[in-house]
């Protein structure tokens, strides 16, 4: 038996240990704390990579905590005792890998970025707690644990958004985020309770096997849908997002993007894996499509008129989430029709999943670039900036890469995922593709605005002493910059190894359900 | 790894685009190399033309601020932006209200 069977448990244990020991490492001074921050981040990234490769080669991984054995999914005569069951299929492994890369980049960037502030042992502890919650959401195989991990990541995020507590805006943003997030989490819990009251289980695979299409299930689905759509920033429930993303320290925002993607993951796990083709109505797919179109267009329209870098980029997060919702919504619409799935549904789904990869990488880099500008100049407002390209050429190049990618300029990776989305959504209705393209044009316009006003233009006297940001911040940004270039230069590899396995796993409900039942019979999940 | 991406409707070839950019870049350098070689750095030829006025020393007096960007666009769409900005009140209870409203609306659509 290979030690790698324990990778799902290690993925949660390592950042959790990192969080609990962070205050102790601070006793050894700044150097030890920073080393711990980097080591733990590197460790969970390696674990995420190993898990992704293992799932790719051996199939869905099952891991049970709190049961009779790590590989016994459904013991005791097929009843479902209380336990933490983790199920990692290709879609989960894909999400975990992306989240880990974003969290690593955020950690590397934060070392120098946060150096001038106190209380960093709390920062590191909260950061790792947030990462633990995020990974937990992505690999858990049961709904109650999903709720618990959602709460862990949310509560840690509230603390991190309010970390600069001398700023009233940061406290206000954290409060608003806490209010809507707690309301959403409560609805998730009520949805879980609805399903538990009828089926006496919270296990996702079991629910996927027995679920019907009645009033209880519909109510639970609505509660899940709106709560998770709100957590990932869908319009008109997006308003917490620009506040929180703009006020959180830049490294945290980079990881928060991955946290919001974990909610998106939850949304699609519910709609595709639990309900899937049994959903007897096109209403839910169309609701997701409409939320996607609204998010794309309203998000980007608000971004164009922003003057603060962080808020501008945050509104783009809303807009980019819209692309993903659109792709997944079209995929869901075609799920029960094999012909539609073959013609455009699977392409839309691939576009949505590819956009998750791209979004996590370039949006993370954009927030880190905005953080670099703030670190070097102390300014958040674009009106106060100018001519910084001369002083910060490396930051400028990295920003250009991310901006070109998010705007979907060929040959960058953003273009490929948008191409999938344009062509597949056009098959459903041309207006969807028109909205997607107009959004892309406005995206380009707003990033040209940042580039022109922050980096170009005449040199300003007040920035005479501005220098390029420290090396560790550049390394953090470069991790994402290199990932964007790799995704751009090798799109076929990205599609074949990252996107398609995840898309196939998402639509293959039988395989996800079957993995748990096979593990219960054979006693082996890996 | 080197193949084209097929979308089901068309294809994407990143290397064709990179070749295009390399050729276009080469042409830009070619045109630039045809420029005058007797340009004198540091002389009046270097001076910025600022409407025949002296160039301000601080770039602050020269730059175009972000708030001036896309002025025509935002003016043309002012009614749309008035509604859109008004919708973003920044009030916490509104945030919760929109969430409840969407939940109720989706529930109506799916349950009825």
Residues of A in contact with B110 (CB under 8 A): 218, 221-222, 281, 283-284, 287
Residue with tokens 């999903």: A146
Q: Does residue A498 lie in a domain region?
A: no
When computed from its CA atoms, the radius of gyration of chain B, rounded to whole angstroms, is: 27
A247 pLDDT more than 90 = yes
Average pLDDT over residues B1-9: 72
- B58 in contact with A, Cβ within 8 Å: yes
Partner-chain contact B59 A461, CB within 8 Å: yes
| Nearest-neighbour CA in chain A from B99: distance (Å) | 5
Give residue A79's pLDDT band: very low, low, confident or very high (50, 70, 90). low
Return the pLDDT at B7: 79
Per-window interface: B 22-41 vs A, CB < 8 A: none
Please name the residue of chain B whose CA is at the shortest distance from the CA of residue A461.
B58
Q: What is residue B2's predicted lDDT score, i.e. its pLDDT?
A: 57
Q: Which pLDDT does position A65 carry in this prediction?
A: 82
CA distance A382 to A457: 12
Residue ranges making up the domain that contains A321: 281-489
Burial readout A90-99 (b: 16 or more C-beta within 10 A, e: otherwise): bbbbbbbbbb
Q: Are residues A275 and A303 in the same domain?
A: no
pLDDT of residue B41: 80
**SS in 3 state form for A157-207?**
HHHHHCCCCCCHHHHHHHHHHHHHHHHHHHHHHHHHHHHHHHHCCCEHHHH
| B47/A contact by beta carbon, under 8 A | no
| pLDDT above 60 for A499 | yes
Question: Cα(first)–Cα(last) distance of chain B, in Å?
Answer: 49
- What distance in Å separates residue B51's CA from the closest CA in chain A? 16
Same domain? A248 vs A295:
no
Residue labelled with tokens 């998402």: A506
Which chain B residues are closer than 8 Å to A495 by Cβ? Answer: 5
Instruction: Tell me, yes or no, whether A7 and A22 share the same domain.
Output: yes
What number of other Cβ atoms are within 10 A of residue A254's Cβ? 32
Q: How far is CA B78 from CA A185, A305, B73, in A?
A: 37, 11, 8
Q: What's B62's DSSP letter?
A: T
Q: What is the pLDDT of residues B66-96, one digit of tens each?
A: 888 899 999 999 999 999 999 999 999 999 9
Task: Establish if A143 belongs to a structural domain.
Answer: yes
Closest by CA to A123, choosing from A30, A261, A43, A2, is: A30
Residue of chain B nearest A220, judged by CA positions: B107
Interchain contact B13–A (C-beta under 8 A): no
With respect to residue A499, please indicate whether it lies within any of the assigned structural domains.
no
Decide if A494 is inside a domain: no
- Write down the pLDDT at residue A137: 96
Model confidence at A185: pLDDT above 90 = yes
The answer to whether the CB atoms of B95 and A307 lie below 8 A apart is no
3-state SS, residue A83: coil
| Co-location of A323 and A344 in the same domain | yes
Query: How far is A490 from chain B, CA to nearest CA, in Å?
Result: 6
What pLDDT shows up at residue B3? 64
The distance of B38 to chain A (nearest Cα, Å) reads: 26
Half-sphere exposure of A343 (CA within 13 A, CB side): 12
- Identify whether A505 is part of a domain: no
Domain for residue A232, yes or no? yes
Average confidence score pLDDT of chain A? 91
Asked whether residue A187 is domain-assigned, the answer is yes
Rounded Cα distance, A72 and A69, in Å: 5
Q: Check whether residue A319 and residue A452 sit in a common domain.
A: yes
Say whether A287 and B14 touch across the interface (CB within 8 A). no
CA distance A166 to A379: 16
User: Where does the pLDDT of residue A71 fall: very low under 50, low under 70, confident under 90, or very high at 90 and above?
Assistant: low
pLDDT for A41 beyond 60: yes
Q: How far is CA A75 from CA A72, A273, A312, A520, in A?
A: 6, 22, 51, 6
Number of domains present in the structure of chain A: 2
Total Cβ atoms within 10 A of residue B41: 6
Residue A377 has pLDDT above 60, yes or no: yes
Name the residue of chain B whose CA is nearest to A417's CA.
B7
Measure the CA dihedral A136/A349/B110/A218, to 10°: -40
* B111 CA to centre of own chain: 43
The reply to whether residue B106 touches residue A239, judged by beta carbons under 8 angstroms, is no
Give helix A168-199 / helix A240-247 axis angle, nearest 10°.
130
- Chain A positions in Cβ-Cβ contact with residue B88 (cut-off 8 Å): 239, 302
CB contact under 8 A, B99 and A184: yes
Q: Which residues from A are below 8 Å from B59, CB to CB? A: 386-387, 457-461
Whether the ω angle into residue A236 lies within 30 degrees of 0, i.e. cis, is yes
A262 lies in the same domain as A294: no
**Model pLDDT for residues A116-147, shown as the tens digit of each residue:** 888 899 999 999 999 999 999 999 998 999 99
Residues in Cβ contact with A339 at an 8 Å cutoff, skipping those fewer than 6 apart: none
Please list, in sequence order, all residues whose beta carbon lies within 8 angstroms of the beta carbon of residue A51, skipping any fewer than 6 positions away: A7, A8, A11, A61, A88, A93, A96, A97
Residues with Cβ within 8 Å of A345's Cβ and at least 6 positions away in sequence, in order, are: A330, A331, A333, A334, A335, A337, A424
Please, which pLDDT band fits residue A526 given cuts at 50, 70 and 90?
very low
Q: State how far residue B50 is from chain A, nearest Cα, in angstroms.
A: 13
pLDDT of residue A375: 94
Instruction: Give the pLDDT score at A74.
Output: 61
In a 13 Å sphere around the CA of A476, the CA atoms on its Cβ side amount to 33
Q: Is residue A110 part of a domain?
A: yes
Do A107 and A220 lie in a common domain? yes
Question: Is the Cα dihedral B24, B25, B26, B30 positive or negative?
Answer: positive
Q: What pLDDT digit, counting tens, does each position of A312-369 carry? A: 999 999 999 999 999 999 999 999 888 999 999 999 999 999 999 999 999 999 999 9
Who wins on pLDDT, B54 or A480? A480
Asked if A272 and A322 sit in the same domain, the reply is: no
Residues 6+ apart with CB under 8 A from A94: A52, A353, A357, A498, A499, A501, A502
A270 and A285 in a common domain: no
Q: What are phi and psi of A173, to 5 degrees?
A: -60, -45
Residue A68 has a pLDDT of: 65
Do A47 and A152 lie in one domain? The reply is yes
Residues 89-108 of B with CB under 8 A from A: 90, 92, 94-96, 98-103, 106-107
Q: Which chain B residue has its CA at the smallest distance from A287's CA?
A: B106
The 10s digit of each residue's pLDDT in A267-324 is 999 999 998 877 777 899 999 999 999 999 999 999 999 999 999 999 999 999 999 9
Higher pLDDT, A81 or A441: A441
pLDDT for A428 equals 94
Has residue B64 got a pLDDT over 90?
Answer: no
Whether residues A108 and A11 share a domain: the answer is yes
pLDDT on residue A525: 41
- Name the pairing type of β-strands A84-88 and A61-65: antiparallel
In this prediction, residue A524 has a pLDDT band, given cuts at 50, 70 and 90, of very low
Which of B102, B104, B105 is the best residue to mutate to test the A interface, defined by the most A CB atoms within 10 Å of its own CB?
A: B102
**Alpha carbons A326 and A294: distance in angstroms, whole number:** 10
Residue of B nearest to A236 (CA): B98
Q: In this structure, are A238 and A344 located in the same domain? A: no
Nearest Cα of chain A lies from the Cα of B37 at a distance, in angstroms, of 26
Q: Give the confidence band of A521 by pLDDT, cuts at 50, 70, 90.
A: low
């Amino acid at each position: 038996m290979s030690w790698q069977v324990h990778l799902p448990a290690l993925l949660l244990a390592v950042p959790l240990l990192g969080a609990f020991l962070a205050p102790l490492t601070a006793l050894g001074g700044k150097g030890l704390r920073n080393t711990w921050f980097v080591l733990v981040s590197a460790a969970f990234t390696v674990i995420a990579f190993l898990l992704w490769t293992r799932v790719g080669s051996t199939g869905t991984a099952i891991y049970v905590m709190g049961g009779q054995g790590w590989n016994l999914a459904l013991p005791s005569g097929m009843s479902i005792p209380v336990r933490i069951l983790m199920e990692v299929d290709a879609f989960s492994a894909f999400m975990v890998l992306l989240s880990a890369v974003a969290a690593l980049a955020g950690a590397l960037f934060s070392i120098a970025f946060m150096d001038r502030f106190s209380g960093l042992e709390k920062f590191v502890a909260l950061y790792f707690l947030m990462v633990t919650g995020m990974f937990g959401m992505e690999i858990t195989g049961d709904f109650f644990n999903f709720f618990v991990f959602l709460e862990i990541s949310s509560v840690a995020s509230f603390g991190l958004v309010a970390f600069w507590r001398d700023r009233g805006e940061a406290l206000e943003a954290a409060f608003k985020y806490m209010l809507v997030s707690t309301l959403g989490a409560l609805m998730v819990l009520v949805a879980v309770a609805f399903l538990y009251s009828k089926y006496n289980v919270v296990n996702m695979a079991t629910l996927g096997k027995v679920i019907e299409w009645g009033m209880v299930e519909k109510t639970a689905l609505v509660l899940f849908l709106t709560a998770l759509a709100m957590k990932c920033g869908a319009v008109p429930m997006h308003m917490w997002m620009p506040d929180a993303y703009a006020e959180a320290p830049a490294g945290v925002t980079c990881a928060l993007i991955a946290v919001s993607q974990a909610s998106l993951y939850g949304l699609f796990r519910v709609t595709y894996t639990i309900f899937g083709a049994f959903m007897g109505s096109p209403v839910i797919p169309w609701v997701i499509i409409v939320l996607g179109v609204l998010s794309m267009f309203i998000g980007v329209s608000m971004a164009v008129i922003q003057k603060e870098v962080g808020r501008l980029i945050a509104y783009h997060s809303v807009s980019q989430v819209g692309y993903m919702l659109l792709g997944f919504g079209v995929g869901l619409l075609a799920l029960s029709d094999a012909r539609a799935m073959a013609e455009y549904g699977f392409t839309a789904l691939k576009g949505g999943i590819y956009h998750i990869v791209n979004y996590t990488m370039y949006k993370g880099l954009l927030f880190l670039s905005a953080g670099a500008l703030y670190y070097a100049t102390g300014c958040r407002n674009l009106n106060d900036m100018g001519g910084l390209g001369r002083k910060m050429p490396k930051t400028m190049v990295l920003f250009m890469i991310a901006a070109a990618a998010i705007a979907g300029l060929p040959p960058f990776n953003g273009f490929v995922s948008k191409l999938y989305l344009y062509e597949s959504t056009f098959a459903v209705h041309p207006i969807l593709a028109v909205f997607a393209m107009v959004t892309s044009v406005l995206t380009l316009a707003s990033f040209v605005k940042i580039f022109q006003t922050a980096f170009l233009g005449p040199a300003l006297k007040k920035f005479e002493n501005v220098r390029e940001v420290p090396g560790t911040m550049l390394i953090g940004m470069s991790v994402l910059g290199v990932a964007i270039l790799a995704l751009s230069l090798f799109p076929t590899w990205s599609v074949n190894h990252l996107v398609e396995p995840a898309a196939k796993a998402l639509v293959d409900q039988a395989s996800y359900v079957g993995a748990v039942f096979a593990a219960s019979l054979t006693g082996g999940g890996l | 790894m080197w193949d084209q991406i097929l979308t089901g409707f068309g294809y994407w070839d990143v290397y064709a685009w990179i070749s295009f950019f390399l050729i276009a870049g080469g042409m830009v350098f070619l045109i630039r190399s045809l420029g005058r070689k007797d340009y004198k750095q540091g002389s009046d030829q270097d001076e910025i033309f600022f409407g025949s006025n002296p160039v301000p020393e601080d770039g602050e007096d020269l730059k175009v601020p972000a708030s001036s960007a896309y002025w025509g666009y935002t003016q043309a769409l002012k009614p749309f932006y008035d509604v859109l900005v008004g919708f973003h009140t920044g009030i916490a209870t509104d945030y919760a209200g929109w969430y409840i409203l969407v939940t109720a609306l989706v529930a109506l659509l799916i349950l009825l």
